[in-house]
Chains A and B, each alone.
Chain A
Amino acid sequence: MSDSAHPAIHPAPTTFIRKWVFSTDHKIIGIQYYFLALIAVFTGLALSVLMRLRLAWPTESWPWLETIFPVGFEGGVMSPEFYLAMLTMHGTIMVFFVLTTAPQGGFGNYFLPIQIGAHDMAFPVLNMLSFWVTFLSMGVMFAAFFVAGGAPISGWTAYAPLSALGEVAGPGLGSGQDLWIISIALFCIASLLGALNFITTVLNMRAKGMSLMKMPLTVWTWFTTAILALLSFPVLLAAGILLLLDRLGGTSFFIPAGLVVSDTVIESSGGSPILWQHLFWFFGHPEVYIAILPGMGVASQLLSTFARKPIFGYHAMVVAVFAIGMLGFFVWGHHMFVSGLSPFSALVFSILTLAIGVPSAIKTFNWLGTLWGGKIRFTTAMLFAIGFVSLFVSGGITGLFLGQTSVDVQLHDTYFPVAHFHMIMGVAAIFGIFGATYYWFPKMFGRMLHEGLGKLHFWLTFIGVNAIFIPMHLMGIMGQLRRYAESTEFKFMEPLQPYQEFVTIAALVTAAAQLLFLVNFCWGMFKGKKAGENPWEATTLEWITASPPPHDNFGGRELVVNHAAYEYGVPGAPRDYVMQTDPPLETTK
């Protein structure tokens, strides 16, 4: 197995460009991905704040915003098309450039090779290429803000034929939509390359003794995520190309015959809008797990480390991760219960969807089991991991409503699913990212983040996200529809205005709290306390090497792994933790 494990030891780069820009070092690439995600997340956050202002005070004038966005805020009030453009870009940027990029591209790139004892990824040049294609993709996406007509208004799901017809169907559906599709296609290619690299690395590059069942759960989740990406992104890529052909090449994959848009007959023949939905959600549902699985791995790693206990039910956790990943490919139809899908297939999709609740319950149960009987150390990283578990429960359990055909009918496209997916794939995943950041920052930058500031960040964020998204479920029950620039036109949504204001205020406070994180991050990089090799007294391989690790990760050492990933509190061991490379214990059972 590990004989083939020593190819890619490339010499350390000497020039600035090779070291920091076109680097083939997985650690630098991980950091590049992370910073890309950081820019994206603050952009996406700013867009959501703008949307929240419009929703809470639809008629209020904001003259200072007009100076920043002369087109979108004419007269100081956000135009509905600007609202829809914000909505599309917020969703797209967050899903692709944050939730897919930071956990996998960022932390996965940096720590997967180190945690399995490899010197680098299997294909370092391919790795560099993945990042730069992602970078290009984000550039193209951001360019959509600035073209004539602005960013597209068709939502992150880009349902055809709205997304296929061009400017006749609405503003932003011209060049903005073209750029959106091109960007997504590039992103698919980058993710595909990344996935190949991750899978090959896990299978071929493990150090001596690092059997699959000794791997940290983080590695298992990155590995599973890579498999999901490998199987789902090509489908989105194909769909994107077909959509682009419909727009520019005169084809009719997604445009049915006989459309009349604004009294204009559209020349097309026989395409299917439902086909787009199938292709999109065949990617889109696994994508949810691409976003959340690495967070589950991080939560497991952190809970075990800071509870000073082995993970409860390691094997069950591995099986559950795989089960969630694989079942995730057979449930895409639950996004389409009211689309005109065959009512018979809806029955099957519904039962499979609820079945995903089973491995999810196993995960939750085992996280609780890991805390049980522990000696919990409340670091900032641990707080975020505990917050992750809480949010995972709150956000996941509402899937039981939406996965049922008959309950979904009323809730579909209301704020209820918006609250559900923000809670689970949004903030739970982000809590995974925050936990990972507070935990691994010392390893990545050689300095500690400020714990006090970090804890304040946690408290405000944890209270904030609950205050935003729990009431949003109720708003959905009351009938608040999503993607509405304002809800003043309908009587049944009138009672909801106070809730809109409450949620906006909670969102403003929560958004402001993220500045604490930014300050802490910048401060920590330059002024933080120097970190030792193993500040958390953790067991996995990244903690046996310097902070930050040398170019080849372990300074030329040949590693032999003797222990499982999370051996804390072993009776008879000299310390309360046994590192994976520690010599075998004499007193083991």
Chain B
Amino acid sequence: MALALAILIWAIVLASVVLFTGEFGWFPPQISEHGDAMDAQFNLTLIVVAIGFILAQVALGYYVWRYRDRSGARAVYTHGNAKVEVATVLITAVTFVTLAIIGQRVWIGLHLEDMPEDAVQVEVTAQQFAWNFRYPGPDGKFGKTATRLINDQLNPVGLDSRDPASEDDVVTLNRMAVPVNRDIRLTLRSKDVTHSFFVPALRFKQDTTPGLAIPGHFKALKTGEYEIACAELCGLQHYKMKGFLMVMSDQEFEAWLKERAEF
């Protein structure tokens, strides 16, 4: 019994190590400027976690086998050891807090740094169950919108045509183009319930919370087409709420935008 349990616990450890180090799948390839740092932080954490996991489980299996009931003397009579308790506290506290602090660098870069003036602006407006994207057009300014003007077919974000700034705004459905190697500044909104704008390849996820205009930014480093998924339960067709991020060269982007503006 003891040996069987010990072997099972060790087998679980071994299976986990194989699963997380073998070719069984990993994060989707990443294409953003901040993504490498994020993945590195994950990997650093993975090492810390693996050490703790393996030590604890291997010890558990070993003790279970080693200290099985065999005839003979009584168990060791002890109530603990204050020195090892203190050592455990210190080691884990230093490790965990250091890990938390190192991880904040990426977060600070993602949220608390100013964007350059020439960043490309895109407004994301989520709704059940689609993504609307708006570009400010040549004037660089988003026009006014109004709730009462919203019409899913004709005017999905409720552009107010009386505002001259709204005239050149470009609105697209489910397809978002951005130029490669440029800073992209997002404003994330929702028309109805909470959604979450998730681009796995970008390592970018941000809830779109109705009533809020949440800022976000990224820089894509590789051209191509990437999927956008909704990550927050938003209703019946949550699992079908799909969009595409198209990362293209500057020229392609300008042409794409122009084409949409004429339409």
Contacts and interface: CB of A to CB of B under 8 A. Distances in A.
A405 B27 contact: no
A354 B96 contact: yes
Contacts of A486: 239
A80 B106 CA distance: 37
B232 A375 contact: no
Interface stretch (A158-166, A431-439, A532-540): A158-166
B147 A310 contact: no
Contacts of B82: 313
Interface in A456-474: 459, 462-463, 466, 470-471, 473-474
A574 B48 CA distance: 46
Nearest to A262: B128
A371 B96 CA distance: 26
Nearest to B233: A483
Given A313-B79, A407-B45, A479-B27, A170 B192 contact: no
Interface string A353-381: 11101100110111011011111111000
Given A350-B100, A470-B15, A373 B92 contact: no
A339 B25 contact: no
A363 to B, nearest CB: 10
Contact of B100 (A263, A351, A378, A470): A351
Interface in B170-207: 191-194, 196, 198, 200-201, 203-207
A350 B103 contact: yes
B103 A390 contact: no
Contacts of B76: 309, 372-374, 569
Contacts of A368: 56, 59-60, 63
A97 B55 CA distance: 35
A257 interface: yes
A316 interface: yes
Interface in A290-337: 307-316
Interface stretch (B67-75, B245-253, B254-262): B67-75
A458 B85 CA distance: 31
Given A309-B76, A347-B107, A470-B19, A394 B238 contact: no
Interface residues of A, number: 116
Interface stretch (A37-45, A104-112, A176-184, A487-495): A487-495
Contacts of A372: 63, 67, 76
Contacts of B204: 409
B80 interface: yes
A419 to B, nearest CB: 12
Contacts of B60: 368, 371, 386, 389-390, 393
Interface in B8-36: 8-9, 12, 15-16, 19-20, 24-28
B140 interface: no
Given A154-B233, A358-B96, A371 B25 contact: no
B205 to A, nearest CB: 5
B110 interface: yes
Contact of B74 (A346, A403, A576): A576
A412 B192 CA distance: 21
Interface string A251-278: 0000011111111010000111110000
A265 B57 contact: no
Interface in B89-105: 89, 92-93, 96-97, 99-101, 103-105
A340 interface: yes
A545 interface: no
Contacts of B27: 410, 477-479
B240 interface: yes
A338 interface: yes
Given A310-B78, A478-B28, A484-B238, A390 B150 contact: no
A485 interface: yes
Contacts of A262: 128, 152, 192
A315 to B, nearest CB: 8
Contacts of B101: 351
Contacts of A499: 25
Interface stretch (B116-124, B159-167, B208-216): B208-216
A169 interface: yes
A401 interface: yes
A2 B192 CA distance: 58
B92 to A, nearest CB: 4
Contacts of B150: 260, 263, 265
Interface in B39-70: 41-42, 45-46, 48-49, 52-53, 56-57, 59-60, 63-64, 67-70
A153 B19 contact: no
Looking at A272, A405, A569, the one whose CB has the most chain B CB atoms below 10 A away is: A405
Interface string A502-526: 0000000000000000000000000
A144 B68 CA distance: 50
B41 A404 contact: yes
A339 B233 contact: no
A338 B67 contact: no
Interface string A217-230: 00000000000000
A171 B238 CA distance: 13
A556 interface: no
Contact of B232 (A309, A351, A413, A571): A413
Looking at A265, A355, A400, A462, the one whose CB has the most chain B CB atoms below 10 A away is: A400
Interface of B: 1-2, 5, 8-9, 12, 15-16, 19-20, 24-28, 37-38, 41-42, 45-46, 48-49, 52-53, 56-57, 59-60, 63-64, 67-70, 74-82, 84-85, 88-89, 92-93, 96-97, 99-101, 103-108, 110-112, 127-128, 147-148, 150-152, 158, 191-194, 196, 198, 200-201, 203-207, 209-212, 214, 227, 229, 231-240, 242
Interface of A: 80-81, 84, 153-155, 159, 161-162, 165, 169-171, 256-263, 265, 270-274, 307-316, 338-340, 343-344, 346-347, 350-351, 353-355, 357-358, 361-362, 364-366, 368-369, 371-378, 383, 386, 389-390, 393-394, 397-398, 400-401, 403-407, 409-410, 412-414, 455, 459, 462-463, 466, 470-471, 473-474, 477-479, 481, 483-487, 489-492, 495-496, 499, 568-571, 576
15 contacts: A161-B194, A260-B147, A271-B211, A309-B77, A316-B85, A338-B231, A347-B108, A373-B76, A375-B75, A389-B60, A397-B53, A407-B103, A474-B19, A474-B25, A478-B27
